[in-house]
Structure 1
Amino acid sequence: MTNVELFARADSWFQSQQWQVFPFQKETWEHYLAGKNGLLNAPTGSGKTYALWIPIVLEQIRARSRSAKAKTGIKAIWITPLRALSVEIKQAAERVIEGFQLDLTVGIRTGDTAEAERRKQQKQLPDLLITTPESLQLMLASKDYAQRLAHCQAVVIDEWHELLGTKRGVQMELALSRMKTIAPNLRIWGISATIGNLEQAREVLLGLDSKTNEKAVLVQANIQKQIEVYAILPETMDAYPWRGHMGLHLLDEVAAIVKRSKTTLIFTNVRSACEIWFQQLLDRYPEFAGEIAMHHGSIAKETRLWVEQAIRDEQLKVVVCTSSLDLGVDFAPVETIIQIGGPKGVARFMQRAGRSGHQPGKKSVIYFLATHAMELIEASALQKAVKHTLVEDRIPYLNSFDVLVQYLTTLAVSDGFYPNEIRQEVQNTFCFQAMTDEEWRWILNFISKGGQSLQAYDEFKKVEIEADGKFKVNSRKIAMHHRMQIGTIVGDVSLQVKFLGGGYIGSIEEYFISRLKPGDIFQFGGRRLELYQIKNMQVLVRNATGSGKAKLASWLGGRLSFSAQMSQLLREELYRANTSDLSVELAAMEPVFTRQRRESIVPSSNEFLIETFKTREGYHSLFYPFEGRFVHEALASLLAYRISLLTPISFSLAYNDYGFELLSDQPIDLESVIDNNLFSASYVHQDLQSSLNATEMAKRKFRDIAVISGLVFTGYPGKLIKTKHLQGSSQLFFEVFRDYEPDNLLLQQAIRETFEHQLEEGRVILALERINQQNIVVKECSKPTPFSFPIITDRLREKLSSETLADRIAKMTASFMK
């Protein structure tokens, strides 16, 4: 059959569904049937799933028209990053197959797949398989995988923007490098929402080999998804804004929007806010009972699935949710989205907006509720970003040797591999393009002999080298352990906080505690505690003595930080406050700006603002880079360290997305320290190492690397090894490598990832370079300013209950307004 005949059938089927074929869909069909690889960029709800299921099925019709006998075995693999999306993807495929009256089989293979279905697939794979990156790795670990996958004609990676910039994305790069060799007629396609670096996203997906890239295309849907953004503005604006009430003072305005919409999703950034908003809405408006539900990652899977189906069936009026509803699930009836608080990124905001009007040609409506006045600058920046489609880049990983170790062991567990053959495949991936001969030899030596440090221990000689040079795992125990751990990508954990003499206080996230050094004081659970040591996943503390300032514990709720793109947009909007070109949101903030100018200034594009003032707490120095919480955390530590080199002084640090504070019990001569290269972009790496507990942070990062690379075993199903034992084991490896093999690639990777991904060292350097080009304005203020107020009140929150905090802030505001 010709393409014209095939497309006529597809057009006819679309008409029977009362759908319109978009040009980008037809362009994708043409490229696919011409044997091209590519990346499809299309907005949420535009029909991009059918842009690839249709040509995959048309290819089977064409093959059958040429040969009466259809080949058995798998024809296409569809990769989804979320298991929850697999059912809808399967339904879409079945709808197409039924419409074209074909006898193709469709199956799902994820961690949720029943054992009976797995056994059935082991005997005969379906024609079309929907699976996850981890399950694809498991397939590569099975015997004779090359023969079973040899006739696969397509791999489609859905939501590629979610995998790009993660180690799961690296897993996909490696899996695709193998698939290209064993399935010579393979076409690779990715589906991505809008990101800033689409060309690079395609390059990472397809790899660097010339054969694949000769047939590479980028298809962009020329569909201007209409997104209307409205800010929910309070009737009166606080001149001194503070974070903490989660926007609940605008509860009635939110309820009014809900009442006039068919279905509304209310997005919060964290689960605690989700719980609170759900309860407050129900308490204030009991008539919502039976029509309101909640959806977040800690809720039982059965409940989440029921909520998703109830939205589709229009049984619910409003659902309060977190990022658990960000991706992919098709909710045609949703009319309105409400975002509570700043989403911290343009892509996340647009993704959530796309949940509304989730159909081609439909308008998306999203309301932004600022939880405090400063977030209205964010609202104004998001309006601009949506209008001009200014979206963040996703930065891919380089040299993730832990994932490579896991992958090579996977190949050795199945049929084995020859290093020279696999080396070329690995080298053609984006992640490992710069891998040296020496690094490759180190990796091979590590999996076969345990490397330089572990060669005396047989348990680390996992892969045997056979007489013909093949690398193969022959131990059933090693193979079983590896299959159980395939795909493991580790996340953050909590540590128990205990007194030295016993007594459990609570749990705290390691990303905060790993930044402290023994002797540091922090506020936790209403107590002032001194860190004694971190041991076996426990934080051992004692009651702090003396009046030294304490660091504020921070939790998951504070971990979202501005992307680099969002930070730049925010600064541009702030600078507009000094012009007559004011957005609705900036105009609403005029009381804040007026009070700020009375006490200090609103900086312009060529100015960097530092404020100083004294209170009974001590001497405050406030810096405003507007770079996001993570960058400010690193900058605060860096500057405090540099100042302490010039004069003996100790600081208490506080930070938010707009700036950071150094609080001390003695004044700082800022003019003098600024002249001493305070903002120099030189020696940042060394100074960060000295100012933060970088070794402790690298140990935490190394635990994840140790698990991924198989250095430590996480346990059997139902009998998982406790996290504290994992940490103890990985810490021992870390110390052995540090002391006896400092050039160990996994150790070096832990240090590199700590600085690149956790401390965002690159953004810190760029921020310092920008500050050096601005005029530094030091304002000596008589009292706290509106810009400084959110940072000060963040510190108070850890000491006071919410009721006491509100009273205290009301008194402070009244005093400052005099």
Structure 2
Amino acid sequence: MAVPQTIERWFDGRGWRVRRHQAEMLDADDAGRHALLTADTGAGKTLAGFLPTLAAFTPERLGDQAPTEGLHTLYVSPLKALATDVRRNLLVPVEEMGLPIRIETRSGDTPSDRKKRQRSRPPHILLTTPESLSLLISYPEAAELFAGLKRVVIDEMHAFATGKRGDLLMLALARLQALAPDMWRSGLSATVADVEAYRGWLAPWGDLDAVSHVVGEPGAPPDISILLPDGERVPWGGHAATWAIPQIYEEIRRNRTTLVFTNTRFLAEYIFQKLWDVNDDTLPIGIHHGSLSVEARRKVEGAMARGELRALVATASLDLGVDWGDIDCVIQMGAPKGSSRLLQRIGRANHRLDQPSRALLVPGNRFEFLEAQAALDAVEEGVRDGEDFRQGGLDVLAQHVMACACAAPFQEDALMAEIRSTLAYAWVDAGVWQRVLGFVENGGYALRAYDRFKRITREEGGWWRLTHPEHAARHRLNAGIILDGEMLTVRFRNGRSLGRVEERFAASLSPGDTFQFAGLDLEVEVIREIELIVRAAKKSAMIPSYGGARMPLTTHLADRVRGLLIDRAGWARFPDDVREWLEVQDWRSELPGPGELLVESFPHATREYSVFYTFEGWNANQSLGMLVTRRMEDRGLGPLGFVANDYSLAVWGLKPITDPAAILSPDILAHEFTDWVTNSHLLRRAFREVAVIAGLVERQQPGKRKTGKQVTFSTDLIYDVLRKYEPDHVLIEAAWQDARTRMTDVGRLAGVLERAERETVHVRLDRVSPLAVPVLVPIGRERMPAGSADDEMLIEAESLISLAMTPE
């Protein structure tokens, strides 16, 4: 069907044209098909997603009839800010075309009176998030509210489809499809790697034939370059890239607006402060990350939208961005970690399809230079990467079952069929379903004696209903998937505090483990609620640097870096010092090729070192370090410590590892891995998350919110009971799944073990190799207090470099 003249005239009036992919989204809707649109940033994806809705309200489609009241289109965004921004941009065409459409947003920030009114008198278009949609489904008005729903538009699918928020949204879509069988789904993304997988995610019952794939018109290729030090060498270690601060400041001075991305909140604060230190012109420079208050973030977003900032330092909080067309350049500090993430960030510049987005990549060290080059090559080749889909979480499923029960009694077979229509939960069989229902019913066998856990009850004919209306109110207060990561205070028994670390890091430790923090070698005495009690270690720290939260290196980019290492002909395009680094490595040792695991062993400073070149990311390498040192201990090798980065793991001890393949035998996952996860706080932490998501423990009660300490205390008590009396409880299973996949990256660990079993290349050297230097230069030097510790590390780094690079 042709594009309505009302829409054509509006595009003409702006000097635009309806692009092919925008028209094809309209065609897919007219043909009664779901649609997945993949298009570059700036291609008008959001407008394309809404075009069928706008067309339905044009005079050409309405004729003499008044528009039907009620909810017509749902727009689901991963970010509240993105929904607000879309509403602002959508109001312009609606008002200028004179379309009779009411548009509203609904999120956690929406006033309660407006939320209540939206359930009885909804707008035509409602912009919301997965969590707010799930809550809407839990109200008794849901059946009537969604009965006339025509379309759901899901923006930035790649940002949450593969995680628990994706699970929650997929279940909500299944519920909506049952309430509105004629509803059509549209998914939008700029960076989908596996189109078929996303089509399966979008389609009911995984019916790929029901989903059209609409490919956006190509835009101007991005202008990307790697920033290198002026007359100096690419650094060996570190990841903050502070060497580039003067050059970055000059870039900010040249541009109207520059967006500076960092990979962690710590680095955002650190780089922001470094820029202010050199800001002699007092240029307006802002900062934006998830730990800032809503008010602070909104203030910065408003200043950017008004063109009042010359630069903004941000984290992933702006990856999905807002339409700021006046950004001249995007700067990526440190490694990009993935080609899709890099493209998403680059797309924040210009945000126009016909103009190239300009970006600078600033590597913090030599491996990061290779990673930046690999990402740049991938972008030029149009290759995307991303996370794989996995089985849906049982904790999310339990939350959804409770939401459905809050709305109305449900029939268990019908709801199971709905759930199985989704990609994430197609695996759920009758046995799993009954376990989930049993948990929601009374908490499970070990908890069924407590009335507080009795939330639903079964009646004749397989119908389930709430045991008491108050459970609906409690559910709505606590439902959600996003959990704030707790920070644990590191302190001595005498009360002296040293600072705070992420709970994820603390959870990987056990009493007796040693790590370095605030310039001190510390031994863990006990992990207690939200405190990490330590004492001064009598020996050097086993984990020489506290890593903090880090983005994972994608498998695709890791493979490309390995390819660059062995492509000797391609080294000619690298800076002289990087090329020399690789040439000396090639002469002195080996280079890690695809499909093999290179392990180098060498003596240094009275210790025996082994470096495993895994390229599996920091999280997997950190976990591997825990396992390898435990196995070394069992075999009498006297492990003294380990350090990990994205590319490699270095371990050292009193005796050499003579057979690394035996150290990495596959049974390490069955023995050491199981013992480590069970005896550390990893499983306990994972249980806390799933218990909150599944509704077993409430974060919030009427009129008050529990502290993190109170939630921790409650979940720890329940965890101990279940471990003792019901170790196969559905939430223990869910916690194990989380601990394996998210916290330890066991899938990538298994990849290391497979390569080790298939082809381990073990090279015995008489000294440190050039490739080993970056992992042995302690990472995170910028966290250390200035002074002698910092000077000693610099001296040690220079000594290592000289030893590795001097030919003999």
* Same fold, judged at TM 0.5 (above): yes
Q: Residues 607 and 777 of structure 1 are in contact (CA less than 8 Å); yes or no, is this contact kept in structure 2?
A: no
1:369 is aligned to: 362
1:697 is aligned to: 682
**C-alpha displacement of 1:183:** 0.9
Is the alpha carbon distance of 1:514 and 1:59 closer, same or farther for their aligned partners in structure 2, counting shifts above 3 Å? same
* 1:569 equivalenced with 2:598 (yes/no): no
Q: Give the 5 Å matches for 1:627-666.
A: 627-647=616-636, 649-664=638-653, 666=654
**3-state SS, counterpart of residue 177 of structure 1:** helix
Which of 230, 234, 244 is residue 235 of structure 1 equivalent to?
230
Using the alignment, how far apart are the partners of 1:807 and 1:85 within structure 2? 45
Is the alpha carbon distance of 1:617 and 1:249 closer, same or farther for their aligned partners in structure 2, counting shifts above 3 Å? farther
Q: Residues 440 and 456 of structure 2 are in contact (CA less than 8 Å); yes or no, is this contact kept in structure 1?
A: yes
TM-score (norm 1): 0.92
2:705 is aligned to: 720
Using the alignment, how far apart are the partners of 2:588 and 2:346 within structure 1? 38
Which of 191, 198, 201 is residue 201 of structure 1 equivalent to?
198
Using the alignment, how far apart are the partners of 2:317 and 2:69 within structure 1? 38
Which of 176, 192, 197 is residue 173 of structure 2 equivalent to?
176
**C-alpha displacement of 1:791:** 2.2
Q: Give the 5 Å matches for 1:499-578.
A: 499-500=492-493, 502-544=495-537, 546-547=538-539, 549-557=541-549, 559-576=550-567
| Backbone CA RMSD of aligned residues | 2.6
**C-alpha displacement of 1:283:** 2.8
**3-state SS, counterpart of residue 139 of structure 1:** helix
**3-state SS, counterpart of residue 308 of structure 1:** helix
2:260 is aligned to: 266
Deviations 1:154-201 (A, max 9, x none): 111111111111111111111111111111221111112222212111
**C-alpha displacement of 1:372:** 2.0
* 1:770 equivalenced with 2:755 (yes/no): yes
Using the alignment, how far apart are the partners of 2:313 and 2:234 within structure 1? 30
Q: Residues 295 and 321 of structure 1 are in contact (CA less than 8 Å); yes or no, is this contact kept in structure 2?
A: yes
Q: List runs of 5+ in structure 1 lacking aligned partners.
A: none
Q: Residues 426 and 432 of structure 1 are in contact (CA less than 8 Å); yes or no, is this contact kept in structure 2?
A: yes
2:718 is aligned to: 733
2:604 is aligned to: 615
**C-alpha displacement of 1:411:** 1.3
* 1:678 equivalenced with 2:678 (yes/no): no
1:431 is aligned to: 424
Using the alignment, how far apart are the partners of 2:369 and 2:402 within structure 1? 51
Using the alignment, how far apart are the partners of 1:38 and 1:314 within structure 2? 35
Is the alpha carbon distance of 1:555 and 1:768 closer, same or farther for their aligned partners in structure 2, counting shifts above 3 Å? closer
Letter in 1 for 2:267: A
* 1:188 equivalenced with 2:185 (yes/no): yes
**C-alpha displacement of 1:667:** 2.2
**Range moving further from structure 2, 45-54 or 317-326:** 317-326
Is the alpha carbon distance of 1:617 and 1:791 closer, same or farther for their aligned partners in structure 2, counting shifts above 3 Å? farther
* 1:276 equivalenced with 2:288 (yes/no): no
Deviations 1:295-315 (A, max 9, x none): 222334334334333334333
1:254 is aligned to: 248
Using the alignment, how far apart are the partners of 1:713 and 1:474 within structure 2? 17
Q: Residues 239 and 595 of structure 1 are in contact (CA less than 8 Å); yes or no, is this contact kept in structure 2?
A: no
**Range moving further from structure 2, 632-641 or 599-608:** 599-608
Which of 24, 27, 47 is residue 27 of structure 1 equivalent to?
24
Letter in 1 for 2:734: Q
2:734 is aligned to: 749
Which of 657, 660, 668 is residue 656 of structure 2 equivalent to?
668
Q: Residues 33 and 59 of structure 1 are in contact (CA less than 8 Å); yes or no, is this contact kept in structure 2?
A: no
Using the alignment, how far apart are the partners of 1:52 and 1:606 within structure 2? 42
Using the alignment, how far apart are the partners of 1:341 and 1:770 within structure 2? 28
Which of 407, 410, 416 is residue 409 of structure 2 equivalent to?
416
Q: Residues 796 and 805 of structure 1 are in contact (CA less than 8 Å); yes or no, is this contact kept in structure 2?
A: no
Using the alignment, how far apart are the partners of 2:102 and 2:41 within structure 1? 27
**C-alpha displacement of 1:443:** 1.7
Is the alpha carbon distance of 1:667 and 1:451 closer, same or farther for their aligned partners in structure 2, counting shifts above 3 Å? closer
Q: Residues 612 and 650 of structure 2 are in contact (CA less than 8 Å); yes or no, is this contact kept in structure 1?
A: yes
**3-state SS, counterpart of residue 622 of structure 1:** strand
Deviations 1:592-617 (A, max 9, x none): 23454565444455764333333336
**3-state SS, counterpart of residue 671 of structure 2:** helix
**3-state SS, counterpart of residue 251 of structure 1:** helix
**3-state SS, counterpart of residue 552 of structure 1:** coil
Using the alignment, how far apart are the partners of 1:303 and 1:519 within structure 2? 41
**C-alpha displacement of 1:65:** 3.3
* 1:149 equivalenced with 2:133 (yes/no): no
Deviations 1:427-485 (A, max 9, x none): 11111111111111122222223321112111111113345643222523322111101
TM-score (norm 2): 0.93
**C-alpha displacement of 1:695:** 5.3
Q: Residues 510 and 680 of structure 2 are in contact (CA less than 8 Å); yes or no, is this contact kept in structure 1?
A: no
2:573 is aligned to: 584
**C-alpha displacement of 1:718:** 6.2
* 1:625 equivalenced with 2:620 (yes/no): no
**C-alpha displacement of 1:789:** 2.4
Deviations 1:371-415 (A, max 9, x none): 223321112111211111222233224141111111111111122
Deviations 1:479-503 (A, max 9, x none): 2111101224324311223434544
Q: Give the 5 Å matches for 1:371-386.
A: 371-386=364-379
Using the alignment, how far apart are the partners of 1:422 and 1:487 within structure 2? 20
Using the alignment, how far apart are the partners of 1:766 and 1:742 within structure 2? 29
**3-state SS, counterpart of residue 355 of structure 2:** coil
**C-alpha displacement of 1:663:** 1.5
Is the alpha carbon distance of 1:775 and 1:738 closer, same or farther for their aligned partners in structure 2, counting shifts above 3 Å? closer
**Range moving further from structure 2, 101-110 or 249-258:** 249-258
**3-state SS, counterpart of residue 527 of structure 2:** strand
Deviations 1:17-49 (A, max 9, x none): 211221111111111122111211111111011
**C-alpha displacement of 1:60:** 3.2
Deviations 1:99-150 (A, max 9, x none): 3322221111111112342243243111111111111111111122101210
Letter in 1 for 2:256: K
Deviations 1:257-282 (A, max 9, x none): 22332321111222332233333333
**C-alpha displacement of 1:796:** 8.8
Q: Residues 545 and 778 of structure 2 are in contact (CA less than 8 Å); yes or no, is this contact kept in structure 1?
A: no
Q: Residues 197 and 394 of structure 1 are in contact (CA less than 8 Å); yes or no, is this contact kept in structure 2?
A: no
Is the alpha carbon distance of 1:809 and 1:552 closer, same or farther for their aligned partners in structure 2, counting shifts above 3 Å? closer
**Range moving further from structure 2, 759-768 or 80-89:** 759-768
Letter in 2 for 1:720: R
Using the alignment, how far apart are the partners of 1:796 and 1:437 within structure 2? 50
Letter in 2 for 1:572: G
Aligned residues: 802
**Range moving further from structure 2, 764-773 or 102-111:** 764-773
Q: Residues 525 and 535 of structure 2 are in contact (CA less than 8 Å); yes or no, is this contact kept in structure 1?
A: yes
